[in-house]
Structure 1
Amino acid sequence: MRAVMSSQQYMRNGISGTTSRPTITADRPAPEEVTESPFTDGRFWGDEFFGFQPLRVATAEQAAKNAAVNFCCSTIAEAVGGVPLEIFEGDALAVGFELGEVLSEAPNPLQIGPEFWAAMAFSNALRGWAFAEPTMMTSGLALWPLSPVRTVPEWGERSLRVTYTPEAGVSRVLGPADLFWFTNSADGSIEPMAPWKMAKGTIDFAMAIENHGRTSFQNGNRPGGVLHSDQALGDEVIERLKASMRAWRNGGNAVLEQGLKYQAVQSSNRESTLLELIEQLVIQLSRYWRIPLSLISPSFAGKAQSEQQSGDFVKYVIRPLTRRIEKAITYRLLTPDMRRRGLRAKFNLDALLRGDSSTQARNAVLYRTATTHSVNDVRTRVFGMPKINEPWADDPREPLNSNRAADTTTGGDTAPQDNVGTEND
């Protein structure tokens, strides 16, 4: 059996037989947070007392804490991790190909295939990229994901350089020949767009709405307001007022003196349509990741619509992503010699497109009628059943009414015409 790759080949030629090229600093700097003044960040005098702080997401980790963002990224990641990865040699499954078994079963000693690909897909869905480092071990090639928190990619005009800082150790710079990676969509350049940055305004709004609802209930649904008086307030009165307002915010009673009056300026949750706003923001965030509404809320989950949207989810979200992963495996992990042999990676998305049991049964008949699938193909790939160890079971041209397909033990009949010409035998 042909070896996957020797350590000398790996160190000399990299992963796909290429070598690192000189890198340049990315000429498109990442967007920076604008320094805000007290007059433009939405705060007023006294906010430091009442505890108001502007809410905004600054990192991908903070964005992932939002329920809608986490749901969208997790849905994509689990869908990718839940479908089998297969390695083909030509039109047939590659048998005994060690690297294929590594990628599909256990990319590294600590992760099985579904765990590894789900983690990589989550990073890609959230940040727009996912990186892993192939290393040669005594047992063969292993693929270790790089922690996104400690990974800093620099996209040049025609180059890529990644600075990785391990949890304990010295930072190192990795080039394209040292890495396996796949990215999200880009806007005409090689630098991918970060989904969480594209959705930053909506996430900030969602965090503000969440904070509003949380603080409202923490304050016993007591709306915010202003205090006004026609009299001058001394320092002692202001100190007593602060203590009184603290008690009021914690559910106690406020004592107002010297003609102070309270006027509510904040509407209640019902008047501010809080629930409607939350639902609209969830729908808005789902559009950034193209998640079907039938997965977002039960109110959108009609049977026919749900099945159609599930198919759209596979076609427009999962299939484009797995296509990029398949090509990344073929051209960033396989050597030129392996590609000349016709080796290629493919995710089997049939499980996501099967539909209900009646749809599966109808499709199985269509597969056999069109002679695109053999009996064993239908049994293993559609219904997850074991193969029949007979030569005819692997032939897609075997007719449906064959007595061999009906009963391999007794040769039972499936139709009267099976006995034509055998009456005198």
Structure 2
Amino acid sequence: MRNGGGPVSIKEAMRNTAVFRCVSLISYAIGMLPLHVIESESKEKARKNPLFPLLHSRPNDWQTGFNFRQYMQRNALVHGNAYALVIRSMERVIRLIPLDPTTVTVKQNRDWSVEYHYTPKQGDLRIIKPSDILHIYADTHDGISGTSMVRTAAQAIELAKELEQFQTAFFRNGMHIGGMLSHPEKLSPEAYERLKLSMKEQYSGSANAGKWPIIEEGMTPHQFASSAKDSQQIESRKLQIEEIGRVFGVPRPFLGVDDTSWGSGIDVLGQIFVRYALNPWFTAWEQAIKRSCMNEREREYLDAKFNAGALLRGSMKDQADFFAKALGSGGHQPWMDYEEVRDNLDLPEKTIAPNPLAQKGNGNEPEAAA
């Protein structure tokens, strides 16, 4: 990224509030959502599989599941790639160690095979095979490594930074008076210097915006009309925020741009965010895990799966209506049983009579077992 004064680094780009908001929204969502190993056919959680606790809660000795996923997703967004070293013992994955993406490069050999060159800050080059690297990326230009969304939004970020710098300099150094005073006579050099010093000391800076100077006798006030440039600057900044959000797939209201009260419409925006911004990343994670963290036999009957239900849940009333229909209320053909509903709501297991509606499609709901 280029600026009139030189390149805009990723660190500087992350100081832009819109960029930070986009990255934090997506990475926090990936971090907070449960990631499970499930059986492909039954969709049951494979809790006894050794990979389950690593993905869900403890990938290594110093990170939680949230910390690991959030950090990896942040790297994927900011740098384009997220890497984790897959540590095995007797073909069993026992640790996932995140790597600094700036220390890893991907190389494709003449035989089309791929290898990862890892150069730690203190140590020698290490060549790692793909099966020992969990590599998360989405958009790519070469098919083997990802593209940084921060760099994709470089022009919008650069312009946003320049607008911020302009407004900062304007409010720090500008003179924001509400009008001017004219004198019928020519001021003496002493009076002019006194006036200039007074104006600089008392009326420059954002704290003095809009003040009228009171100076010498015989002066006539002239009020300034409000300039359209101020509103244009505000609109330009909003446009740049929207441009940055568009690159990341984050809806405009999630960036704090609009004053509109969305009410129930925010649920629809949340669904759009999950569907178009998060779902591609869900797939990237799930397939990368299956490729690098499961052996050939496990890949035949296991999947990695995010549970996005927490983000898609509506109000309590909407949830009650949905699950009532899922259980067969109101003549609907049921497609869930009681335990599945409780599992979706993260409620503990409870001994409940099976739901005959889910099998027969008619009759009344059974009463809970005593």
Common fold: TM-score over 0.5: yes
CA apart distance, 1:195 = 1.4
Task: Give the structure-1-normalised TM-score.
Answer: 0.67
After TM superposition, list the pairs within 5 Å mapping 1:412-423 onto structure 2: none
1:126 aligns with 2:78: yes
CA apart distance, 1:65 = 2.1
Letter aligned with residue 144 of structure 1: I
State the identity as a percent.
Answer: 24
1:323 aligns with 2:283: yes
Tell me, yes or no, if the aligned pair for 1:155 and 1:191 is still in contact at 8 Å: no
Residues of 2 paired with 1:119 and 1:378: CA distance? 31
Match of residue 173 from structure 1: 127
1:274 aligns with 2:215: no
CA apart distance, 1:273 = 2.6
Instruction: Please state whether the residue corresponding to 1:335 is helix, strand or coil.
Output: coil
CA apart distance, 1:137 = 6.6
Write out per-residue CA displacement over residues 38-88 of structure 1, whole angstroms, 9 at most, x where no aligned residue.
Answer: xxx86xxxxxxxxxxx2542x333322221111111111111111111111
CA apart distance, 1:154 = 4.3
Tell me, yes or no, if the aligned pair for 2:106 and 2:144 is still in contact at 8 Å: no
Unaligned runs of 5+ in 1: 1-32, 35-40, 43-53, 224-243, 253-266, 410-425
Residues 395, 345 of structure 1: CA spacing in aligned structure 2 closer, same or farther, 3 A cutoff? farther
Match of residue 62 from structure 2: 110
After TM superposition, list the pairs within 5 Å mapping 1:63-82 onto structure 2: 63-82=13-32
After TM superposition, list the pairs within 5 Å mapping 1:153-232 onto structure 2: 153-154=106-107, 158-187=112-141, 189-221=143-175
Residues of 2 paired with 1:133 and 1:181: CA distance? 9
After TM superposition, list the pairs within 5 Å mapping 1:15-414 onto structure 2: 54=5, 56-57=7-8, 59-89=9-39, 90-91=41-42, 92-136=44-88, 141-154=94-107, 158-187=112-141, 189-221=143-175, 270-271=229-230, 273-297=232-256, 298-340=258-300, 342-369=301-328, 370-381=333-344, 383-390=345-352, 392=354, 396-397=358-359, 405-409=366-370
Residues 322, 395 of structure 1: CA spacing in aligned structure 2 closer, same or farther, 3 A cutoff? farther
Tell me, yes or no, if the aligned pair for 1:133 and 1:178 is still in contact at 8 Å: yes
CA apart distance, 1:192 = 2.8
Match of residue 19 from structure 1: none
Match of residue 183 from structure 2: none
CA apart distance, 1:160 = 3.7
Residues of 1 paired with 2:292 and 2:145: CA distance? 18
Instruction: Please state whether the residue corresponding to 1:371 is helix, strand or coil.
Output: coil
CA apart distance, 1:114 = 1.5
Letter aligned with residue 23 of structure 2: C
Instruction: Please state whether the residue corresponding to 1:321 is helix, strand or coil.
Output: helix
CA apart distance, 1:194 = 2.2
Q: May I ask how many residue pairs the two structures share in their alignment? A: 320
Tell me, yes or no, if the aligned pair for 2:75 and 2:81 is still in contact at 8 Å: yes
Residues of 2 paired with 1:191 and 1:269: CA distance? 46
Tell me, yes or no, if the aligned pair for 1:55 and 1:204 is still in contact at 8 Å: no
Task: Give the structure-2-normalised TM-score.
Answer: 0.76
Write out per-residue CA displacement over residues 267-301 of structure 1, whole angstroms, 9 at most, x where no aligned residue.
Answer: 98954732221111101100001101221224255
Residues 214, 351 of structure 1: CA spacing in aligned structure 2 closer, same or farther, 3 A cutoff? same
Unaligned runs of 5+ in 2: 178-196, 206-225
Residues of 2 paired with 1:141 and 1:324: CA distance? 22
CA apart distance, 1:162 = 3.2
